[in-house]
Amino acid sequence: MTATKKTIAAAAAAATLGVGTLVYRQWPSPAKDDAPLAAPVNVVDDVQPIQVALPSVTVPTITVDSLVTRVEPLSPPVVVYSPGKLAIQAPNTPAVTPVAVRSAIGAQPQTPAVMRVNPAAVDSAEPVPTPAPDTPKVAQVSIAPASVTSPAADIPRIQHLHKTLAAIVKDKRHLVSDKGISIHNPGMEKWLAIYEQPLPPPNEHIPLPQGIRMIAELHTPDHAAANLAYYRRQGYNACLISLDGSESVRKVAQLISLVRQADMAPWIAWAGPESLGWSIYQDPDKITRLLSSAAPLCQGYLVAWRRTSAHLVEQDAAYIEHLAAQVRAANPGIYIVGESYYGETWQNLPQVNQRGWTARDNAPRNPSGILITGIATQGYAIEIMLRSTFAKWVATPRLAQVLGERPYYASTNNTGRSFAANLRIKQQLERRFLRAGCVGTVTLHGDGSDRGSTLMTVDDIGKYKIE
């Protein structure tokens, strides 16, 4: 083929494939384009098959003697008793013959795990005579059966207790929450005896003076001296010591001494923790011992605080008057202050806009004053509420409880403010209550919690140092 023919053929092929541009290169033609082809070569397949011998495999066989076993019951061991001696006689043991396994492969005989019992040996076992056992001598011991009382026997007593309390206790929620209401509580029996007695004579009315600035509350002595000195510089002149029954007389005296050394007046309260389950029916003798030992060194006594406050229990007259009489007997000049609380109680149930709520009181007869509680934070019209909600106590000297911006401002409802900033808010509230006619204030050290772990989340003045 000539060069011209090759060029034309390439162009035709490009057109057939549809390419847009034709690029080609002209190769030189051989000297003779039309040279004759070489002659064809005949290929002959001369491969010959070979013979392959396949080996034969003989599968070995294994012959095992048949195993025949006959098991006859053997006589059990016979126990022979004799005084002071114990012996066990064992029967003859039958012989056991192993069975060998023969292998066609040529392995050595092996002893299998299965053994064959020789019936002849079993049949030849000698019988063992069974002697009559001696009769042992047993010492006669007299055992007195324990006296077991069925719990059902307590049901009439339990029913009688709850029926009695339902008739004499005002706070019905308290009847199902106080864990000390039990026939097994000795203190409960003593309180029932007190409830059955007539009320003691009313205490003499000793009115509160003006100018009480109390800080609450003191439990532990650790940082008490430094913190009380701090509050004294802030103008506070009294400190509340709250009791729960776990204190010794000596510890109470120590706390009172710390308050007096800070040039502040000690106050006491039978309080307990903020818990409905905690029992107010502890041994009245123990409570009296604590209050009577502290009262001669204290300026005043609050009849309601924390667990004994109206938001957790509406105290019965017999309860309030008994403890107030014990305190006044120990210190005839001590101030005795009751409580009036606005908020949720066993009667003031949660309702929209608190509709139907009224102030609930825990107050003895002839109180020296009333502690106003429940409006201790920002957001209340203090003057209006003192004239309306707490109108019953307008003519009575009033102390006002002060908490701060909101309840639990450093824990559950943390505002992020410093201790100093929160104290300034409390002091603003104190001034509002004083302008509204209160004779003094009772300000909480913390945010209202008694279970916190920082300076502002616990009300115990002595637990953490004020920096």
Low-confidence ranges of the chain (pLDDT < 70): 1-149, 351-353
Query: Structure tokens of 118?
Result: 């020789």
pLDDT in tens, 239-271: 999 999 999 999 999 999 999 999 999 999 999
What Cα–Cα distance (Å) separates residue 33 from each residue in 3, 30, 37, 93, 135? Answer: 10, 6, 11, 113, 136
Contact call for residues 457 and 449 (beta carbons, < 8 A): yes
- Distance between CA 297 and CA 421 in Å, rounded? 34
- Distance between CA 248 and CA 268 in Å, rounded? 14
What stretches of 217-363 show up as alpha helix (H) in DSSP?
A: 224-233, 249-261, 284-294, 317-330
Query: Structure tokens of 316?
Result: 């019965």
For residue 26, the model assigns a pLDDT of: 47
- Cβ neighbours for 317, distance < 8 A, ≥ 6 positions apart: 199
- Distance between CA 350 and CA 368 in Å, rounded? 32
Instruction: Tell the burial category of 188 from Cβ atoms under 10 Å away from its Cβ (0-12, 13-18, 19+).
Output: buried
For residue 125, the model assigns a pLDDT of: 52
Q: What is the CA radius of gyration of the chain?
A: 52
- Biggest distance spanned by C-alpha atoms of the chain: 151
- Distance between CA 442 and CA 460 in Å, rounded? 14
What are the residue ranges spanned by the domains of the chain?
A: 195-201+209-457
CATH of region 195-201+209-457: 3.20.20.80
- Distance between CA 182 and CA 281 in Å, rounded? 10
Answer positive or negative: Cα dihedral of 343, 347, 349, 352: negative
- Distance between CA 275 and CA 280 in Å, rounded? 10
For residue 29, the model assigns a pLDDT of: 47
pLDDT in tens, 209-244: 999 999 999 999 999 999 999 999 999 999 999 999
- Distance between CA 388 and CA 373 in Å, rounded? 14
Strands 265-270 and 238-243: parallel
Supply the DSSP symbol for 298.
-
- Cβ neighbours for 392, distance < 8 A, ≥ 6 positions apart: 340, 359, 361
For residue 17, the model assigns a pLDDT of: 44
For residue 235, the model assigns a pLDDT of: 98
Short-list 159, 162, 153, CA closest to 181: 162
For residue 280, the model assigns a pLDDT of: 97
